[in-house]
Amino acid sequence: MIDVMTYTVPAPMRPVVSDREGTKMLLHEALARSRQQEAIEAAQQHALVRRVVAGRRWAMLAGFAARRADRARAAARFATDPVPR
């Protein structure tokens, strides 16, 4: 008599990851969450850079306006000064 043994291969286990809150999730869910957090951090950094650049631009514009106002005041003062005779 021939004894035939069949070997059963267990199904591969899905990797389970615990995040910071201790919630169990699948690996693809953890990767998606990680990518989402990286995207949020990148957006926050981009917003900060935009605010800094906008502040510099407004400072340059304010300096330009101040210099132009000084020139206009000087020209108005020169025009109203009595002419020496």
pLDDT tens per residue, range 57-78: 999 999 999 999 999 999 998 8
CA 31 vs CA 1, 19, 34, 41, 44: distances in Å: 53, 11, 5, 15, 20
pLDDT of residue 58: 97
Tens of pLDDT, residues 2-26: 666 666 767 677 666 666 666 666 8
Q: Please state whether the predicted TM-score (pTM) of the whole model is above 0.85.
A: no
CA distance 42 to 73: 46
Supply 73's token pair: 């005041």
| Segments making up each domain of the chain, as ranges | 51-80
CA 13 vs CA 10, 19, 27, 46, 77: distances in Å: 8, 18, 11, 40, 86
pLDDT of residue 26: 81
Mapping DSSP to helix (H, G, I), strand (E, B) and coil, where does residue 25 land?
strand
Mapping DSSP to helix (H, G, I), strand (E, B) and coil, where does residue 17 land?
strand
